[in-house]
Amino acid sequence: MNLLTLVTGMPGPSGFGSASTAEQVTEGIDASNLTAVVTGGSSGIGLETSRVLALRGAHVIIAARNMEAANKSKELILKEIESARVDVLKLDLSSIKSVTEFVDDFNALNLPLNILINNAGVMFCPFELSQDGIEIQFATNHLGHFLLTNLLLEKMKNTAKATGIEGRIVNLSSIAHSLSYEGGIRFDNLNDETGYSDKRAYGQSKLANILHAKELSRRLKEEGANITVNSVHPGLIMTNLFKHSFLLFRIVKFFTMLMWKNVPQGAATTCYVALSPCLRGETGKYYLDCNEMPPSQLARDEALAKKLWDFSNKLINSVSAT
């Protein structure tokens, strides 16, 4: 996607582009037989994703850390869409304990699971360790979603097998994945404050989102599971993710205003990848403005993806053992 199409909103091969909204890219799609979990579904593009999935008939589970905000978001959706099916469950992705408790709570609902949208995240945070002792952006943006996906995978496989409907996992990444640390992931000094960069740490976590999708996609294909895994860049959207760099991004936005999207446009690629019948069987790919795009060279590194998978499992096991 070149600068001209980004600025003008000119559609790509899919028929959609940067100006397309989530409602437009899902028009005519009936999702009434689907159940979806959306992390961070109570604000920003997560809320718009939840709203549009509910609008198309899906049963949406909003997974959020702030339950007050999540319940208000549920009320907003129900006020607009009286027939909407929306539930709210607590989830703090920076906490392994919270992730496991969420999965227990979800399983207690005895629902199927067709779609998992790993949307929640933090951005450009000052150096901080999670309560599990892991760098906060890596813990929240990657590790929490990695564990959540693994714990829900059997449910998704069983749902796909019982219904014959393809399961879909969507990881929200970012174009910032190309601005990670040298070598991509700081395996040997993940939690070292020395050399920490809030921007590169964010890029590292977003690179991890793509590598996770790539490796999981490979494993599921090898297994023959009827589930696809893809990653997306939603575009530049001014949401509360920018709370740590608000002034900086106000300045940046002034000089790049034609490249920014509104929230309905920002949720479009997620909803397209989650619901479009045109993407049936498409997996292990990266989408921008509802069109497939090649990610960075590091994001295509299969050996790096496998190394990250093993590293993530060991990190989770080490925390769980304490």
What tens digit of pLDDT does each residue of 13-60 get? Answer: 999 999 999 999 999 999 999 999 999 999 999 999 999 999 999 999
- Burial of 116-135, coded b for 16+ CB within 10 Å and e otherwise, reads bbbbbbbbbbeeeebebebb
| Band (320; pLDDT cuts 50, 70, 90) | confident
Q: What does the pLDDT look like over 262-294, one tens digit per residue?
A: 999 999 999 999 999 999 999 999 999 999 999
Q: Looking at domain 21-320, which of 3.40.50.720, 3.40.50.1820, 3.40.50.300, 3.40.50.10540 is its CATH number?
A: 3.40.50.720
Q: What does the pLDDT look like over 247-263, one tens digit per residue?
A: 555 554 444 445 579 99
Please say if 196 is a catalytic residue: yes
Q: What share of the chain is helix, strand, coil (3-state, %, to 5)?
A: 50, 15, 35
Q: How distant, in Å, are the alpha carbons of 65, 84, 125, 201 from that of 130?
A: 14, 35, 12, 14
Q: Among residues 196, 202, 272, 287, which one is catalytic?
A: 196
Listed residue (281, 191, 268, 278) closest to 237, CA to CA: 268
3 state SS of 67 = helix
pLDDT score recorded for residue 260: 73
Tell me, yes or no, if the pTM score tops 0.85: yes
